[in-house]
Amino acid sequence: MRGFAYLLERLAFTQSRNAKLQLLRHYLAATPDPDRGYGLAALTGDLKLRAVTPSLLRGLTAKRVDEQLFALSYDFVGDLAETIALLWDAEGDEDVPLHQAVELLAQTGKAGLPVAIAGMLDRLGPSQRLAFLKLATGNMRVGLSARMARIALAEMGDPELADIEEIWHGLAPPYQPLFDWIEGGPRPEQAAKAPFRPVMLSTAADLDQLRAFDPADYAAEWKWDGIRVQAINDGGVRRLYSRTGEDIGNSFPDVLEALNFDGAADGELLVRRGDDVAVFGDLQKRLNRKTISRAMLESHPAGLRLYDLMIWQGRDLRGLPFRERRAVLDDADFGSDRIDVSPVLDFATWDDLAALRADPPSRVIEGVMLKRRDSPYVGGRPRGPWFKWKRDPKVIDAVMLYAQRGHGKRSGFYSDFTFGLWDDEQLVPVGKAYFGFTDEELRELDRFVRNNTVERFGPVRAVAPKLVLEVAFEGLNESGRHKSGIAMRFPRISRIRWDKPAAEADQLETLKDMLT
């Protein structure tokens, strides 16, 4: 556990991508099995343990630490796990193997979890306690993505990154066959039979960047506001995966039933009523549900809009250029009215495409996708073959109402901001944003919060309604969970309006007009 704790600390405070990769490579090379596999799984999000709730941890701490001391410490530190790790009243400093901590969390029943966690915290020093609590809560935000972890693995041996990604979703912690392969052993053939294939992703572009390319080399399609999925029928076994490889088929039995083809297709999952594509909020109502009622199936019918084929009738098409894959897609018979093909747009110049993008036929279109006609289907995010040119974000001027401490590197700053709009003479909360600003702007915002706090609610501070934030967002949905009746998609702070009086911020009615 000591080595894992040291790795987390170094990753959290290391900015350089290459330095992070080096840290992970050293950890994986120096750590014995199965600990290195469990550490890797924790960092990539593939370690599925019983989630330990904040209320459980608070209850444990209340038995050891004075309530007022804890409240003051938590307000200063801003991170629950770090606060507990520092305040926990014990003098242990064992180097407990990581696999023992994993087994404790995986095998202990709910009733015995408080005693088991307290016992483990008693055995550990502060740094190891923090690592254990991060493991228990699943909060591993240390600036290292799952793809970066796979890059580090590829740098340790002969297998290429593409080869590792091809079999990744067929592997399970602690990844012993993977490490054996990297160290010169055989390829894990059983993992290679996993039906999910790495998804090809695009990079963002704008009109100025696109002018460097010949438009004749690219095909364009609408970018639909759904979720990216991989639909598979592998010898009668039907699966529906998210872009990260999560099996979401239980939430969409109507789509699984429609997979009457032999192959693996790439597309967008949408709620469709006839020819009309519903807003993302309708699709969101079906996500992450274990079962779907008959009423929900009828009121929110799901379908697929495909734009690529990876496997078709036993043939792997990924090495073919896009134009050839698209020809197979256009000729394919999917045997269901729940599945159709995203149309290719007709344009000759980038200005032609800009005009189409500015006036899409549906409000659920996010922009356009561009794909080189000669590009093979390559997992990951290669730069150049595919671009996304999203529509310009909408912008409102809102007033900061509340602020909350961040986590990890931001735990010492107020970085999560709730903002509101005027509804007549009253400010109504409409959203929350926690990115879009620079490090220097974060320090300025934190200073404003501390100097303008009017009330405290645990880790949250209410601030005087003085500061206007320009908030950019991608779209809006009606929402019964929000007092305003509206939910924003991907809000971010695009500018701090130190110059603008709060009374001149936008009205709620302005936001509602954007919805309609």
17: domain range? 2-137
pLDDT of amino acid 477: 76
Mean pLDDT of 253-270: 95
Helix axes 126-137, 98-107, angle to 10 degrees: 40
pLDDT in tens, 242-257: 988 889 999 999 999 9
- What distance in Å separates the CA atoms of residue 507 and residue 511, rounded to the nearest whole number? 7
191-200, 394-403, 459-468: which range is least confident on average? 191-200
**Residue 220 shares a structural domain with residue 347:** yes
Checking if the pLDDT of 407 tops 90, the result is no
> Which of 367, 385, 403 is the last residue in one of the domains?
385
DSSP 407: S
Is 273 contained in some domain? yes
d(C-alpha 34, C-alpha 27), whole Å: 13
Residue 312: what pLDDT? 96
Residues 225 and 133 occupy one common structural domain: no
Q: Both tokens of residue 191?
A: 């993992």
Is the pLDDT score of 173 beyond 80? yes
Are the C-beta atoms of residues 349 and 215 closer than 8 Å to each other?
A: yes
One domain for residues 367 and 400: no
Phi, psi of 270 (to 5 degrees): -135, 155
- The reply to whether 173 falls in a domain is no
- For residue 29, what is the DSSP state? H
Structure token digits, residue 454: 């009017």
Interval 443-472: pLDDT, tens: 999 999 999 999 988 778 999 999 999 999
| pTM of the shown model | 0.77
Instruction: Quote the pLDDT of residue 183.
Output: 94
Cis, bond preceding 301 (omega within 30 deg of 0): no
Q: What mean pLDDT do residues 207-216 have?
A: 96
What value, to the nearest 5°, has the Cα angle with vertex 453 and ends 450 and 455? 140
Is 142 among the domain residues? Answer: no
Among left, alpha and beta (phi > 0; psi -120 to 50; other), residue 133 is alpha
CATH code, domain with 356: 3.30.470.30
Structural domain total, the chain: 3
Q: For residue 385, which of 393, 400, 375, 377 has the smallest C-alpha distance?
A: 375
